[in-house]
């Protein structure tokens, strides 16, 4: 099925099941501990043994040799896999040859060996007995140093509209500031984990992964075997945030280890390897320049971002939101990439927008202060209903102003003092801040298979994954709505490479795209049922387990018979994304308290107002947004991978040193979804909220801290050492 024109009425618009705040259908399995996660597949992998990953102790150089004698003699050891005995490994689409280092070393904690033993403890103990002879090389680990040295930068990319330089120079009011965001780590509950098993030349993997088809193809390419010989399953994922989009070392090494010992092997990455071995959000240095007339109209918008990555990597696109969020005739956005020898920088929740808005939305507040305008009014004045670079291309839906106005009303924005450091409650300075958010709507080709059994149970199969977002439930809601069945008559099976290829989970495209694939399959099933029943399609309705058309009503069970009826279809997209700019929008509001004596910060209130198309399940969508808001607090106040610039590794590579918010850090969070159905997005008229909920939160917190204290912090995270000594005297009333 192809979606290439705005949808009008369709069965989803009934909203009998879709759009309702239903409990997650997989909730009982998760809360009872019965959900089968990758590392726990004891039932399907008998006599499994354990692999322990050894990470490189240097960030750059070569391995002269590995003395394995003591490790091989250790109790329970079955095999040691290294680059020397792993066989030839292909590169894969995402440079997967880097997943097993040797003899060259590309970054700290790059996997260089897997020790396989009868027990986890034996494998871990034996891993400490490997003696690795390294030849260390000088590496580049300092982004600021690379920025200062153009010779160390490559791949500068600019996008321009109009004449930014002239417009900025002529602007009556100007802002030119630099902001920094640090390296940040994924800190999901479930680490990267895999259980692998071979039967002859066929490989079965149970793994924690967001994109089943991508990973199957990359693993096949890396191992040099047909992808049809790989059966990959990922039915439950305990968080991913982008780090599980791709094939990682746990899956590859589990496969290599299982092949070496001819038994199932379990591998999980140690927490330090999640920071230093998998992907992370790279640090940025961002320069924002704004020029405006005295009435607040932007005449020049400039945003440049510097970031680093391994050779072959991409820059963090921290300027993409600036190309669309505000109007302005003259614009410059650009990314500058430095080749660093730090671990790979890649997708982390709202890649690009999350750090980009942390800079841009402080800059907007700073400009509002210079103009003596309310920050919300400045944003409203510079709203646009068209792509600023392509005025002929309008937004499919853009309700940013409504997000801002609704949030201001609900949060009590009118009570905020425009002057900072004016509100004191005992030892606490109180401040309020806000920021706008944008995240583009992306759609991906997605397929599904549906089968209606003679018992009346509808089974949906697709390789879509559920990373804690509620995919099982919204897919069940879609199928139930389409077929006129109660949701308890729908069985959803996900995360299996033998199922039709879906969009997968990532980029905020998962919910909208995967349910559209189910919509396509159910549409085909409806047509097949109507044809078999001899009923006209025009005016047909499916409800209460029956189909009614042409004055007749027939039960679905009667139509499909004992053998049932199954079909498969795929949702593909035309050029609507080229004809219209599709985006989601938000407004975030935060109240903070800052201790006048210690600079301790406490978030007291949070509100997010989101315009993100049809909300398929308000309960699970709210869960996504409050989780993203929590992540935004972490990014603003706590999270920072500290780089050892001598040796090239992240020092605080565990959850003791890498701080993330806990329950006591987060107050009650309010979420408001605007009533929106974007007919241009998909037949579901949805978009997505999982990343939008993070976009702008960090800046809202930082702006609130400024409003409380009068101290403007432009280098994240906003920690107390950046406030102490700069706040108003403690005697201030």
CA atoms lying within 13 Å on the CB side of residue 561? 4
Q: What is the pLDDT of residue 151?
A: 66
pLDDT at 41 > cutoff 90: no
How does pLDDT run across 647-684, given as a tens digit for each residue? 999 999 999 999 999 999 999 999 999 999 999 999 99
DSSP string, 583-636: EEEEEEEEEEEEETTT--EEEEEEEEEEE-BB-S-HHHHHHHHHHHHHHHHHHH
pLDDT at 733 > cutoff 50: no
Chain centre distance of CA 132: 36
CB atoms within 10 A of CB 22: 20
How does pLDDT run across 687-698, given as a tens digit for each residue? 999 999 999 999
Selected catalytic residue, list 353, 397, 481, 691: 691
Place of tokens 């004596």: 597
Of 278, 107, 113, 184, which Cα lies nearest the Cα of 647?
107
Helices and strands per DSSP (H, E), number in the chain: 17, 32
DSSP 281: B
Q: What pTM does this model have?
A: 0.97
Place of tokens 């199957």: 216
Quote the percentage of the chain above a pLDDT of 90: 94
Q: Which residues of 364-386 are buried (b: 16+ CB within 10 A; e: fewer)?
A: bbbbbbebebbbbebbebbebee
User: Residue 161 burial by CB count (10 A; 0-12/13-18/19+): exposed, middle or buried?
Assistant: middle
E strand or H helix at 428, and its extent? strand 428-440
Domains and CATH numbers, the chain: 2-35+443-574 (3.30.365.10), 38-138+187-276 (3.30.365.10), 373-441+582-722 (3.30.365.10)
Question: Helix, strand, or coil here: 329?
Answer: coil
As a whole number of Å, the end-to-end CA separation of the chain is 66
In degrees and rounded to multiples of 5, residue 86 shows phi and psi of -80, -15
Q: Which residues of 454-467 are buried (b: 16+ CB within 10 A; e: fewer)?
A: eeeebbbbbbbbbb
Of 239, 253, 267, which Cα lies nearest the Cα of 98?
253
How does pLDDT run across 56-110, given as a tens digit for each residue? 999 999 999 999 999 999 999 999 999 999 999 998 877 777 999 999 999 999 9
- Tokens linked to 490: 């729908």
How does pLDDT run across 559-600, given as a tens digit for each residue? 999 999 999 999 999 899 889 999 999 999 999 999 999 999
User: Is 562 part of the annotated catalytic residue set?
Assistant: no
What is the distance between the alpha carbons of residues 93 and 312, in angstroms, rounded to a whole number?
Answer: 12
pLDDT at 483 > cutoff 70: yes
Chain centre distance of CA 568: 28
What is the distance between the alpha carbons of residues 483 and 407, in angstroms, rounded to a whole number?
Answer: 38
Q: What is the pLDDT of residue 577?
A: 86
The answer to whether 448 and 461 have CB atoms below 8 angstroms apart is yes
């Amino acid at each position: 099925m192809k979606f290439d024109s705005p949808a009008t009425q369709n069965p989803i618009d009934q909203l009998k099941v879709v759009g309702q705040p239903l409990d997650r259908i997989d909730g009982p399995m998760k809360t009872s501990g019965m959900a089968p996660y990758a590392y726990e597949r004891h039932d399907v992998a008998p006599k499994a043994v354990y692999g322990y990953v050894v990470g490189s102790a240097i960030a750059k150089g070569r391995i002269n040799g590995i003395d394995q004698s003591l490790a091989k003699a250790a109790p329970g050891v079955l095999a040691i896999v290294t680059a020397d005995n792993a066989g030839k490994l292909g590169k894969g689409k995402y440079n997967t040859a880097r997943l097993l280092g040797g003899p060259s070393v590309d970054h700290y904690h790059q996997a260089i060996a897997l020790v396989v033993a009868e027990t986890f403890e034996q494998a871990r103990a034996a891993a400490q007995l490997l003696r690795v002879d390294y030849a260390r090389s000088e590496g580049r680990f300092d982004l600021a140093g690379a920025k200062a040295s153009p010779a160390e930068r490559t791949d500068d990319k600019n996008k321009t509209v109009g004449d930014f330089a002239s417009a900025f120079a002529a602007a009556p009011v100007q802002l030119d500031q630099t902001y920094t965001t640090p390296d940040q780590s994924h800190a999901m509950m479930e680490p990267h984990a895999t259980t692998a098993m071979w039967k002859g030349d066929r490989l079965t993997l149970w793994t924690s992964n967001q994109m089943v088809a991508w990973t199957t193809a990359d693993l096949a390419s890396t191992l040099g075997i047909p992808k049809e010989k790989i059966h990959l399953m990922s039915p439950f994922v305990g968080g991913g945030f982008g780090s599980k989009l791709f094939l990682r070392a746990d899956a590859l090494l589990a496969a290599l280890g299982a092949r070496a010992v001819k038994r199932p092997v379990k591998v999980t990455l140690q927490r330090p390897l999640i920071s230093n071995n998998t992907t992370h959000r790279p640090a940025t240095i961002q320069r924002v320049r704004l020029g405006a007339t005295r009435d607040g109209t932007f005449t020049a918008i400039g945003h440049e971002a510097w970031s680093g990555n391994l050779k072959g990597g991409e820059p963090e696109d921290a300027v993409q939101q600036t190309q669309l969020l505000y109007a302005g005739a003259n614009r410059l956005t650009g990314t500058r990439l430095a080749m660093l020898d730090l671990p790979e920088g890649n997708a982390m929740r709202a890649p690009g927008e999350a750090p980009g808005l942390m800079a841009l939305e402080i800059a907007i507040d700073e400009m509002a202060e210079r103009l003596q305008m309310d920050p919300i009014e400045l944003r409203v004045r510079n709203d646009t209903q068209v792509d600023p670079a392509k005025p002929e291309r309008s937004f499919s839906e853009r309700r940013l102003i409504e997000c801002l106005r609704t949030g201001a009303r609900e949060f009590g924005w009118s009570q905020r003092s425009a002057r900072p450091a004016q509100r004191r409650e005992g030892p606490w300075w109180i401040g309020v801040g806000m920021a706008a958010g944008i995240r583009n709507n992306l759609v991906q080709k997605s397929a599904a298979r549906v089968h209606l059994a003679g018992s009346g149970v509808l089974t949906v199969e697709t390789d879509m994954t559920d990373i804690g977002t509620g995919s099982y439930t919204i897919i069940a809601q879609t199928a139930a709505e389409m077929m006129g069945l109660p949701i308890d008559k729908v069985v959803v099976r996900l995360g299996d490479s033998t199922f039709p290829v879906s969009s997968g989970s990532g980029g905020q495209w998962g919910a909208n795209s995967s349910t559209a694939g189910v919509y396509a399959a159910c549409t085909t099933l409806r047509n097949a049922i109507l044809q078999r029943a001899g009923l006209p399609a025009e005016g047909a309705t499916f409800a209460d387990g029956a189909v009614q058309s042409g004055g007749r009503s027939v039960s679905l069970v009667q139509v499909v018979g004992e053998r049932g009826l199954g079909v498969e279809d795929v949702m593909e997209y035309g050029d609507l994304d080229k004809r219209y700019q599709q985006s989601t929008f938000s407004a975030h509001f935060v109240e903070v308290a800052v201790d006048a004596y210690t600079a301790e910060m406490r978030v007291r209130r949070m509100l997010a107002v989101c315009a993100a198309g049809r909300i398929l399940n308000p309960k699970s969508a709210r869960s996504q947004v409050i989780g993203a808001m929590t992540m935004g607090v972490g990014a603003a106040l706590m999270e920072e991978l500290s780089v050892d610039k001598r040796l090239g590794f992240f020092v605080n590579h565990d959850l003791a040193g890498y701080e993330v918010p806990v329950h006591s850090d987060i107050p009650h969070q309010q979420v408001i979804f605007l009533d929106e159905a974007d007919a241009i997005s998909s037949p579901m008229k949805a978009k997505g909220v999982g990343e939008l909920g993070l976009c702008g939160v960090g800046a809202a917190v930082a702006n609130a801290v400024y409003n409380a204290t009068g101290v403007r912090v432009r280098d994240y995270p906003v920690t107390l050492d950046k406030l102490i000594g700069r706040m108003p005297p403690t005697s201030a009333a």
